Amino acid sequence: MPQITWRCASGKSFSIDVAAGQSLMEAARDHDVDGIYGDCGGNLACATCHVVVPPEWVPVTGQPDAMEDDMLDIVETGRTETSRLSCQILATEEMEGMVLDVPGA
């Protein structure tokens, strides 16, 4: 069960043990991580689960597919080169120690 940390624009950090296979949006929402809302329930329709993945972790998380890429264009919190919608990232053991940034509006 990898431990993943969300570093939020609010200044708070949340370190959560996430079950392999669970989406990072669900894990964050279950623990009230600041700035992660998941309004659409993970259906790629809201973009309220935006995170920025440190470049060194991109090989582990992978890249967004075309639909996610389109949705990333509407995030309100400033898309970056390594932005992802966290409902589309499923936890794996290889994510142990990963730190994600949650941009603020």
Q: Which helix (H) or strand (E) holds 16?
A: strand 13-17
Total of residues contacting ligand FES (CB under 6 A): 14
Is residue 27 involved in binding ligand FES (CB under 6 A)? no
Query: What is the 8-class DSSP label of residue 30?
Result: H
Binder of ligand FES out of 87, 89, 95, 100 (CB under 6 A): 87
What are the residues whose beta carbons fall under 8 Å from the beta carbon of 30, sequence distance 6 or more?
none
User: Which of 11, 75 has the CB closer to ligand FES?
Assistant: 75
Q: Tell which positions 35-74 bind ligand FES, by CB under 6 A.
A: 38-40, 42, 44-49, 71
Tell me which amino acid residue 17 is: D
Residue 59: left if φ>0, alpha if ψ -120 to 50, beta else—which one? alpha
CB of 6 to ligand FES, least distance (A): 14
Beta bridge pairs of residue 15: 5
Task: Tell me how far the alpha carbon of residue 61 is from its chain's centroid.
Answer: 10
Binder of ligand FES out of 53, 85, 89, 102 (CB under 6 A): 85
Per CB under 6 A, residues contacting ligand FES are 25, 38-40, 42, 44-49, 71, 85, 87
